[in-house]
Amino acid sequence: MKRILLIALTTALSGAVMGQSSMDLTNAILQNKESLQAPKEILKAKISIDKASKVAKVNTTVKYYSTRADIYANIARSQDPEIGKVGGDSAGLVAVDNYVKVFQLEKDNKKSAYFQTAIYNLIKVMPPALYNFGLTLRDKKEFVASRKHYEMIMNIAGAVGQDQIDSVIFDNSYLLCIMNSIDGGEIDTAIVNHREFAAVGISNVQAANAIAAKLEADKSDKLLSFVQEANRIYPLEPSFKKVELNYYLERGDTSLALQKAKELTDSDPNNDQLFFIQGVMYDELAKKEKNKILAADTKKKSLKSYQRAIEINPKNAGAQFNLGVNYINDASAFVKEYNSLPMNPPKDKYEKLRAEIKSRYTTSLGYFLKAYEAAPKDKNYVQTLWDVYEQLYSMYKQPDDKANSAKFKKELEALEAEKK
């Protein structure tokens, strides 16, 4: 008998709790409406809805989610410090979370008042509110809290469709979501955000570049995998290929650097600096190549790359200088042969070697002078001009060569004095 009475008593209590929770939900609805005229009523509405949230049969209904969303949305929008303090930084997030639940439950019943309210708030009301509150938090350097607001805007876009959100708010929210992660020291979160957004067709080159720049600055071991991922997401964007190229260059991986340089020149055929880098890579490979025929062929590709660079930009000092170096290197073989001649060599042999040497030195001078004109303060260019004129004078005793040698020696001394 006691057992039966106990069960009856429990059932009665359960019904009482259920009845009270329903009353709490009704009170919350009424108090929320009254807050339009008496703003402080929203505080009572919050207490009522929080009470109603404790019963499963109530807190899983569309009516509950819609009411809770409205209450927290009003708290988030309130300019009253007392009300704002009660809601905290997360009031807008709670509102959106509940509107999304209404949207999901009622998406097959689009004519319902609950659905219409949810969709209106998700599209028109909450994104601007979340956006502005996120900016306030960002100004306070509360980057993590700020990021959560922009993540929520992105979640709204995922639920209702990107095209339903104001394009300026959407684009800036994406970027600010990433930037808050970076500025808040959460680079891994930034990478995850970027990957998750890309998976649903949302991407932003500026945000991805910001991540790459941070990883590059930090010399992170995640840099290569991120830029390779970015290359797949943004196949027409060259900036990530350039980062990858620099990555290989810094590590002395000539073959991979050349491969990336070739990809870049194919997609950006008027970029002189890329052709210059490509030439340098071919030069490096030619030096390492043991097969003379292959080395010579690779060297030709190097010269072709430098020539293309100066066709695009005659002031590309590096390409001009390296072409000059190529002719000096060619001359060195003839100089070596010249220096090994016997005391009385055949005159035609002697003159032929002198002509070969002079021809290459004269050609190299043209390139060195253009490099110098493009960068007159480069000590290496001035030093080279002095050396070349000295060599020419020692062989041919031309007054102009002597005068130019003196000129560049004086410039070199001035540059060295500046650094001291």
User: Looking at 14-28, 336-350, 358-372, which range is the least confident one?
Assistant: 14-28
DSSP string, 352-379: HHHHHHHHHHHHHHHHHHHHHHH-TT-H
Q: What is the pLDDT of residue 20?
A: 57
Q: What is the pLDDT of residue 420?
A: 64
Contact predicate 165/156, CB 8 Å: yes
pLDDT tens, 241-251?
Answer: 889 888 988 88
User: Looking at 105-109, 138-142, 158-162, 173-177, which range is the least confident one?
Assistant: 158-162
Query: How many C-beta neighbours within 10 Å does residue 111 have?
Result: 7
Q: How long a stretch of residues is the chain?
A: 420
Report, as an integer, the average pLDDT of 36-45: 89
Q: What is the pLDDT of residue 226?
A: 95
Q: Percent of the chain scored above 90 by pLDDT? A: 41
Query: How many C-beta neighbours within 10 Å does residue 200 have?
Result: 11
Per-residue pLDDT at 6 exceeds 60: no
Q: Going by C-beta distance under 8 Å and a sequence separation of 6 or more, which residues neighbour residue 394? A: none
d(CA 365, CA 139): 57
Report, as an integer, the average pLDDT of 310-329: 95
Number of Cα atoms under 13 Å in the Cβ half of residue 334: 19
With tokens 């959560």, the residue in question is: 148
d(CA 226, CA 244): 10
Per-residue pLDDT at 301 exceeds 90: yes
With tokens 């004129």, the residue in question is: 389
Closest CA to 65 of 124, 129, 149, 122: 122
Query: How many C-beta neighbours within 10 Å does residue 92 have?
Result: 28
Amino acid at 142: E
pLDDT tens, 53-91?
Answer: 887 778 889 999 999 999 998 888 888 888 878 877 788
Q: Percent of the chain scored above 70 by pLDDT? A: 95
With tokens 């941070």, the residue in question is: 214
pLDDT tens, 372-413?
Answer: 999 999 999 999 999 999 988 988 899 999 999 999 999 999
Angle, helices 41-52 vs 62-77, to 10°: value is 150
Q: Specify the 3-state DSSP secondary structure of 109.
A: coil
257 sits in the region (left: phi over 0; alpha: psi -120 to 50; else beta) called alpha
d(CA 270, CA 376): 25
CA quadruple 25, 26, 29, 35: dihedral sign = negative
Q: Tell whether pTM > 0.85.
A: no
Contact predicate 42/65, CB 8 Å: no
Query: How many C-beta neighbours within 10 Å does residue 393 have?
Result: 18
Per-residue pLDDT at 32 exceeds 50: yes
Contact predicate 240/227, CB 8 Å: yes
pLDDT tens, 322-356?
Answer: 999 999 998 888 888 888 888 777 778 888 888 88
Contact predicate 299/271, CB 8 Å: no
